Amino acid sequence: MTDMKNSWRSSFDAHIAPHTIEVASMFAIMTRLTPSAKVDPLTKLKIYNGEEIVEKGSTKKVDIMELKEQARREGMTGISNRFIVKAIDTALSESDHNCVNPIAVLDTLVKAVKEMVIAEEEKKRYLGFCRIPSRKNTISCWKKK
């Protein structure tokens, strides 16, 4: 019986740094959000995640139902889960130390997005999610910890 128990064990031995999966999923989600005149994509992501938005020391009130009404097909297009898993796998395989962190995954996502066959406008939008909000959020997460 012991042999069968061990056969189900994963041989995965790589290290995935804190916030790596979170940053990759934030990127994927932002590609699926419909642009809004009321808030930027990162703020919209945080609102949908139930987080309070604080600006200049006070909580900003945004009507989540109004955001959803403006974008009825939100979430139906964008980066797939498979794309994210492949990016994490690629970052791990390119690592010299059998570990991956948020910055390495973002760098891999940038390369992968640049190779995508999509409209240039969409490609620029996706690359913007890799470069600015995700990195700032990652660095602020590290500082908090």
pLDDT, tens digit, 9 for 90 and up, residues 17-32 = 998 999 999 999 999 9
pLDDT for 72: 85
pLDDT for 87: 95
**Mean of all residue pLDDT scores within the chain:** 84
pLDDT for 86: 96
- 37: helix, strand or coil: coil
Contact 49, 101 (CB under 8 A): no
- In this predicted structure, the answer to whether residue 92 has a pLDDT above a threshold of 90 is yes
What is the reported pTM?
Answer: 0.79
From the number of C-beta atoms within 10 Å of its C-beta (0-12, 13-18, 19+), residue 99 rates as middle
pLDDT for 132: 56
Contact 32, 79 (CB under 8 A): yes
Distance CA 84, CA 135 (A): 16
